[in-house]
A = this chain, B = another copy of it.
């Protein structure tokens, strides 16, 4: 029995840059390929792993360190870990990459103005009024990746276009095979594409 090869897809970017949306789409897509895949999203992580931590640099680093530890366990066990986390500090992401090894960094490069326009939870508005300290993009820094494995212009591409590019990149990096993808396609046919 060959153990499957695990890997981590790590979405980083400003609040409202589209990380959770793409993470969920990728999660569904990989599940349809029959892969063992787990999604760790920011809110759940803050609830289950890092309750009590704030948003100082030290606390953010600890937050990312815990996520990286769990992603390493999943990856090592042959599963796919999908992470959606602002993860604003380059060094913390680089530590995660070093720890996990099979690490695909996807940078959602979305202009701040567009993120502010989306403002899904109204947090930018509050941060701009000075009501939220340490809010990434407003009162806290975001350090973009210098060499992400994939850069997604989420203000220009549709989520489906971005998903397509991510899947392509995973094939290119050897984490997904054409066999994986064709199995999925044939399953789509037999179920009329409703799977």
List chain A positions with a Cβ less than 8 A from chain B.
1, 3-4, 34, 36-38, 40, 48-49, 51-52, 62, 65-66, 69-70, 73-74, 76-79, 183
Contacts and interface: CB of A to CB of B under 8 A. Distances in A.
Given A48-B69, A62-B51, A3 B34 contact: yes
A71 B49 CA distance: 12
Count of chain copies: 2
A37 B77 CA distance: 6
Nearest to A79: B77
A48 B68 CA distance: 10
Contacts of A74: 73-74, 77, 79
A80 to B, nearest CB: 8
14 contacts: A3-B36, A36-B77, A36-B79, A40-B73, A48-B66, A49-B49, A49-B66, A49-B70, A51-B62, A52-B52, A70-B70, A73-B74, A78-B78, A79-B79
Contacts of A37: 77
B3 A73 contact: no
In the complex, which of the residues A3, A51, A79, A183 has the most CB atoms of chain B within 10 Å of its own CB atom?
A79
A48 B62 CA distance: 9
In the complex, which of the residues A49, A77, A78 has the most CB atoms of chain B within 10 Å of its own CB atom?
A77
A77 B38 contact: yes
Contacts of A36: 3-4, 77-79
A65 B48 CA distance: 7
A59 to B, nearest CB: 10
Contacts of A65: 48
A190 to B, nearest CB: 15
